[in-house]
Every structure is written in structure tokens, then in C-alpha cells.
Amino acid sequence: MPYHRFVEVTPESGAPRRRRGATGPDDDASVRAALVEAAGRGLAASPDGEIATRAVCEEVGVTQPVLYRLFGDKRGLLDAVADAGFERYARRKGELEATGDPVADLHAGWDDHMAFAAENPALYQLMFAPRPHAGSSAHRRVLELLEATLVRCAAAGALRTSPGHAARLILPANVGVALSRIAQPALYDDPELSHRARDAVFAAVLTDAGAPAGPDPVRAAARQLRSRLSLHGTGELEPVETALLDRWLKRLDQPG
């Protein structure tokens, strides 16, 4: 069915507002962005974390069939809002100053994650709370950002396990504390809860400063070298040799 353009009068000003059918690629992109922004505003203002697609369409000035054509359904729109939330999260992380101490940066990253959740509770729940058949990549992309910091920790010899394993321990703990505070603030009102959880999880994945490498020094050395190569590379090896070395180091870092 073609999407026809027509004009309606807005109740606020009496001025005509053009309904858009988003009939071309450029128009599609601008209408899609406007719908995502409107849905994000509606989500932030909603007392129960729900939005109505009709209200979103009315704010942007398009018909509901346009929304369904661009996003498939309401779930697709929410996925797009979650992905837009990740872009905000990533920009925020990019503004955090990286110091010469990756462990300190890891601590700061946990605390900033908690601050993002407190400032954007509805968006945070959309990004991280389980949703059936969700197609957003926000959670995975946040995990990748965390892994990048953990690679720096591993390169400094400060990680007991691989960056991937450490990230999969840290992020669920960080998310769990944040979601608990959003959902049950009276029950999880201890101001030190976040730091205690952070310190407990970090103790499981970080080495003590100045401590020996542990029961498997070869594995620890392989992890550190692999992480340093991923950060800085080497001009001494051909690409195929670098790939082979990475494969060997990864194998040496596997549990026995």
C-alpha cells in the first residue's frame, strides 16, 4: 500500500503539520531517527517503562504503518532505542580519561556504569534487562568495551584470567547491582553495596600488586604477551606469523 502524504492541523498552534510517509532513503533515515528519539523520550517519561507506538507516531507526525515498515514492530523500535542508548553509553565512556593505570580505569568504569544506570533508569532496563526475542546488540557491545579495558589490565600483568572470562564475570555483577537498585531501591539502598560488589568481583579476576604470577606462570606470561601484542602489535613478524603466535598464546592461556 503506498504511503500518501497529507496535512493535518496541530492542536497546539493551529498550524498545518505535514504527515510524512518516509518514501525515500534519506527520508527513511530522518524519520527513523526521529521515531527513535521520540520513543526514547517517551520511555524516560513513562512511569512503567512502557511506550505507545501511536503516541510516538503522533509526536513525529507519521502514520503507524510507517513505523512498522521501518522497524517491523514495536520490539524492533525498542531494539533501536536500546542501540541508540549504547551509542550514548559509548560516547560517555570515550570521555573518561584513560590513565596509565588500567586497574584504576577499571574501577572508574564500574562506578561510571552505575552512574549511567542511575541517570537513565528506563533506558538502562531496556538495554540490560532480559526481553524475549530482543534483537539489540547493546549488551554485547558494552561487553566488548569492558574487554578492551581488561586487555590493558592483562597487558600490565594484572589479570588472573583471560579478558573475555573476566568481562563475563564483571559485567553481570555490575548489571545485577544496577538493575536491583532501579527495581528495588528501598531494598538495595546501602551506599556501599556497589563498591563491595565491585571489590569482591575484582578480587576474583585481578592479581595483587607485586604478587607472583600464580600457580601457572607460563599461562600468565602467555596472557600478558598476547594482550600486549593486541594493543601494540609488532613489526618483527609477518601477519601470518603474528596470527600463528596469537593462536599459540591463546592455547597456552587455556585452563589445563
Q: Could you read off the pLDDT of 57-104 as tens digits, one per residue? A: 999 999 999 999 999 999 999 999 999 999 999 999 988 888 889 999
Q: How far apart, in whole angstroms, are the C-alpha atoms of residue 1 and residue 120?
A: 38
* pLDDT tens column, 113-148: 999 999 999 999 999 998 877 778 888 999 999 999
Specify whether domain 99-211 bears CATH 3.40.50.300: no
Q: Residue 13: what pLDDT?
A: 36
Q: Residue 27: what pLDDT?
A: 83
3-state secondary structure of 31: helix
The answer to whether the Cα torsion of 181, 187, 192, 198 is positive or negative is: negative
Residue ranges per domain, the chain? 6-72, 99-211
Beta carbons within 8 Å of 147's beta carbon, 6+ residues apart: 163, 164, 167
Residue 3 has pLDDT above 60, yes or no: no
Asked if residues 19 and 7 have their Cβ atoms less than 8 Å apart, the reply is yes
Q: Residue 24: what pLDDT?
A: 54
* pLDDT tens column, 159-209: 998 999 999 999 999 999 999 999 999 999 999 999 999 999 999 999 975
Q: Which residue has the cell 553495596?
A: 193
Average pLDDT of every residue of the chain: 84
Residue 245 has pLDDT above 80, yes or no: no
Where would I find the beta strands (DSSP E) of 107-196? Answer: none
pLDDT band at 153 (very low <50, low <70, confident <90, very high): very high
Dihedral-angle region of residue 230 (phi above 0 means left; psi in -120 to 50 means alpha; beta otherwise): alpha
* pLDDT tens column, 212-228: 445 566 777 777 777 77
Asked if residues 22 and 62 have their Cβ atoms less than 8 Å apart, the reply is yes
Q: How far apart, in whole angstroms, are the C-alpha atoms of residue 143 and residue 165?
A: 11
Asked if residues 35 and 62 have their Cβ atoms less than 8 Å apart, the reply is yes
Q: How far apart, in whole angstroms, are the C-alpha atoms of residue 211 and residue 163?
A: 19
Question: What b-and-e string marks burial along 194-214, b requiring 16 or more CB atoms within 10 Å of the CB?
Answer: beebbeebbeebbbeeeeeee
